[in-house]
Structure 1
Amino acid sequence: MFLSWLLLGGISSFAVTPEQVLKTAWSDSAFVSQEEMRTTDTRNPLRNVEGFASVETEDKKNEYELGVKFQFRSWPEWKLGSTPEAGRKVLKDASLAWALHERYLNLVSYEISHKKMAVLENSLKLSEGYLKAQSLSLRAGRASTKSFLGAQGDIYKLKRLENVITQEKKVATKKIKSWVPSWSDESLTGFDLLSVQEVVDSVGSIPQPDTSLSARISQTEFNDYSRELEILRGREDQWIKGMDISQTRKEDEIGYKVELTVQLPHLGSDDLSRQKQNELILKKALKQKEVDDSKDRLLSLKNQILNLAGLYKMSSAGLKESGKVKGADTLSALENKLMQEQGELDLLSQQQEILTLFVDYLLESERLAAEPEKNHLSKSLKVVKL
């Protein structure tokens, strides 16, 4: 008795909640790397400063030279400085949101595939029973060969579907275990997953921003390309590149020297710089297209969710009505049950698609970035304890 209790206690100790999975987003390498990044510019007009010293000996007389070399930034490079703080914040918040997004998708995939497998196992049992009934009816002359072969084909379809769902669950399980290595029990505890209607209500209650996260990030990258292009062009027009200041001492003689490094614009061409500029021009054009394409991303996701939710509601109502129909004989009753099971699988697939789109909507509306500590797929909005 004690041994059984100990084993059960050991197993349950490794049970994992969705919130524990979501918590690992804060240790995701993409987010941690953003935390470790430092600013790349302090509005310093100098690109580089080097000191130098030399000693020359001639006829047992030493000549010393000490100096400093200054390399200047171009005016656009100095003026523009580093990436604006707002742009860095967008990327930092997005890195955490992306990590949460990946975990949400795998939690949905695992949970729904788990439910699908339970329905599919029952469907397979019913299909095997239906095939036996068809075989008996065929021998008795009450069924056709076509209906018997159709029953066989249905079992093969269910077997193929079983392989697909098994693989889907396996992928999600592997991901979750990579985030929570101590998880040894293939079940999630306390997952009060949102219903389709609750998803619809949530989408309706979330304030819709003017633009999506994808559009904001694309705009930030577009601005970065514009800055880089302006800096490269500014370097081509930069007259004074650097200055050297030095002091020489030979015996009792002291001398000073100032040297300027001057660039004569447009007399020579830097092919690598021009090539880089051409690449940036192309990247800007492509990024601008991304910005334009992403502007309606939120509205598109919302419409997809609402449309699919409407179809889900119709399918659910139709399934309930078909469940009221009673079969006249054994074969009809089995056929009706099989249709019910197939309907349940279809509803689960629809629910998974809606939940997946909802997670995308949470990402694009920046709810994951604004409220990362909430489990947005939980009916009670459970909190992720950090």
Structure 2
Amino acid sequence: MLWLLWHLFFSLQSQALTAEQVLKTAWQDETVLSQEQMRSTDSQNPLRNVEAFASVEREDRKREYEVGLKFQFRSWPEWKLGSSAETQKQIVKEASLAWALHERYVHLISFEITRQKKEALQKVLKLSDSYLKAQGLSLRAGRSTSKSFLGAQSDIYKLKRLESVVEQEHLAVVQKIKQWAPDWNEGIIADFDMVAVDDILDAVSSQKIHESSLSARLLQAEYKDLGKELEILRARENQWIKGMDVSQSHKDEEIGYKVELSIQLPGLGADDLSRQKQNELVLKRALKLKEVTGSQDRLQSLRNHIQNLGSLYKMSKAGFVMSQKSRGADTLTELENRMSSEQAQLDLLSQQQEILVLYVEYLLENERLSAEPTRNFLSRTLKTVSL
């Protein structure tokens, strides 16, 4: 029997999943792997396209043929516009792993908090049921009113609805984690030493803030890319030389060579569709500039938000600790105090979840997830993700 228990224990341990193992799957995320397959588009080739052609004609045992190449030229901005400048694709490639890690961090937070909420809800529902029975006895004894009884009944319905919402959130998170780790037995996340709110407040206060958030960099690059696209479209309208054809022909045993230039006369090459596209780009650039301006203080705003919520959390926690020390004189008051305490615990868990999610977003925007991807920032001891 003892051997069987030990076997079962080690079997469950071998199937347990750690937070670091969940984070490790980010390196195999499709968005990360797809970036490795992307090819550079910053070509310094002045040619847009090259086509080969050949034609053969036969008549009375005579054969005539022509072979050649067609070269289409890029406009000047297409191959000279700051290829060294930061582009949207470059930033997306750099940040793809950080985004994959961010998604896993958020689900790990939700898994742990909903697990704790489920435990707290079971306690408060048990207390509420006892409280409802006590109210019923008190009502029959004439010591309470039907309003108090109905109120207690209504509170139970609200708690059951909340329990259903939390259960659905937990199940959704479990299914998502199982997609990343198919062999997981859906039990627990082992050795999950979740970082405390006080540690988060210390971290955001001490960490150096980048000049621009990740979102601001991406928006700025998008704005520049739109400007490049607009300049290219305008340049194509004023492009004199569009292409060149070089060919060799054989006719009656004579060899001939031909060079043809395709020239666009300025003003006559205006394209209504091109003009419409240009107008759309002008509008997009104006809207993008507005987003860029609005994202300048993103990091400082996140830091302030975390610090404000952290202060409220510490006040709520202090009140919760005080409520644990006070107890009522009779049964109803005692149950009310204990229910209030469990409700406060649920509220603290919701506050903690909000702070943790904001903290992970702050790490993403401050590019800490990109700089130190193998560090588990949710771990109080900053465990390492072994690759």
TM range (shorter): over 0.9
1:183 aligns with 2:184: yes
Q: Mapping of 1:227-376 within 5 angstroms?
A: 227-376=228-377
Between 213-222 and 80-89, the greater mean CA deviation after superposition: 80-89
Q: Deviations over 1:310-351 (max 9, x none)?
A: 111111111122222221111111111111111111111110
Q: Deviations over 1:183-240 (max 9, x none)?
A: 1132100111011111101111211111111000011111111111111111111111
Secondary structure at 2:190 match in 1: coil
1:84 Cα deviation after fit: 4.1
Separation in structure 2 between the aligned mates of residue 54 and residue 32 of structure 1, nearest angstrom? 44
Counterpart for residue 385 of structure 1: 386
1:166 aligns with 2:154: no
Separation in structure 1 between the aligned mates of residue 224 and residue 125 of structure 2, nearest angstrom? 57
Separation in structure 1 between the aligned mates of residue 42 and residue 72 of structure 2, nearest angstrom? 15
Separation in structure 2 between the aligned mates of residue 334 and residue 282 of structure 1, nearest angstrom? 62
Q: 1:177 to 1:83 in 2, by over 3 A?
A: farther
C-alpha contact (below 8 Å) 2:88/2:225 kept by paired residues: no
Separation in structure 1 between the aligned mates of residue 52 and residue 137 of structure 2, nearest angstrom? 98
Between 338-347 and 61-70, the greater mean CA deviation after superposition: 61-70
Amino acid in structure 2 at the alignment position of 1:47: R
Q: Deviations over 1:107-158 (max 9, x none)?
A: 1011001001111101111111111111111111112211111111111111
Q: Deviations over 1:216-272 (max 9, x none)?
A: 001111111111111111111111111111122223322211111111121143122
Amino acid in structure 1 at the alignment position of 2:327: K
Separation in structure 2 between the aligned mates of residue 309 and residue 268 of structure 1, nearest angstrom? 62
TM, length-normalised to structure 1: 0.96
- Which blocks of at least 5 consecutive residues in structure 2 are unaligned? none
Separation in structure 2 between the aligned mates of residue 362 and residue 295 of structure 1, nearest angstrom? 16
Amino acid in structure 1 at the alignment position of 2:182: P
Secondary structure at 2:328 match in 1: coil
Q: 1:109 to 1:152 in 2, by over 3 A?
A: same
Between 63-72 and 346-355, the greater mean CA deviation after superposition: 63-72
Q: Calculate percent identity across the aligned residue pairs.
A: 62
1:177 Cα deviation after fit: 0.7
Separation in structure 2 between the aligned mates of residue 157 and residue 133 of structure 1, nearest angstrom? 19
Q: Deviations over 1:13-57 (max 9, x none)?
A: 221001111111111111111111011242001111222222222
Secondary structure at 2:71 match in 1: strand
Amino acid in structure 2 at the alignment position of 1:348: L
Q: Aligned residues, how many? A: 386
Separation in structure 2 between the aligned mates of residue 81 and residue 212 of structure 1, nearest angstrom? 23
Secondary structure at 2:259 match in 1: strand
Q: Mapping of 1:4-43 within 5 angstroms?
A: 4-43=5-44
Separation in structure 1 between the aligned mates of residue 202 and residue 100 of structure 2, nearest angstrom? 25
Q: 1:315 to 1:85 in 2, by over 3 A?
A: closer
C-alpha contact (below 8 Å) 1:49/1:71 kept by paired residues: yes
Amino acid in structure 2 at the alignment position of 1:253: E
TM, length-normalised to structure 2: 0.96
Separation in structure 1 between the aligned mates of residue 85 and residue 262 of structure 2, nearest angstrom? 31
